[in-house]
Structure 1
Amino acid sequence: MSRTFTLDDLKRILLEGSGAPDGADLDGDILDTEFTDIGYDSLALLETTSRVEREYGIELDESLVGDASTPRALLDAVSAHLQAQPA
Structure 2
Amino acid sequence: MSEQKFTVENLKRILREGAGADEGVDLDGDILDTDFEELGYESLALLETGGRIEREYGISLDDDIFVDNRTPRSLVAAVNEYFKDLVAP
Q: How many residues align?
A: 87
Could you tell me which runs of 5 or more consecutive residues in structure 1 were left unpaired when the two chains were aligned: none
Cross-structure match for 1:55: 56
More helix by share: 1
Whether 1:16 aligns to 2:17 is yes
Identity %: 56
Q: Provide runs of 4+ in structure 1 moved above 2 Å.
A: none
Cross-structure match for 2:83: 82
Cross-structure match for 1:35: 36
Cross-structure match for 1:73: 74
Cα deviation for residue 84 of structure 1 reads 1.3
RMSD of aligned alpha carbons: 1.2
Alpha-carbon distance in structure 1 between the residues aligned to 2:15 and 2:64: 20
Q: With structure 1 as the length reference, what TM-score do the two structures score?
A: 0.93
Alpha-carbon distance in structure 2 between the residues aligned to 1:46 and 1:65: 8
Q: With structure 2 as the length reference, what TM-score do the two structures score?
A: 0.91
Could you tell me which runs of 5 or more consecutive residues in structure 2 were left unpaired when the two chains were aligned: none
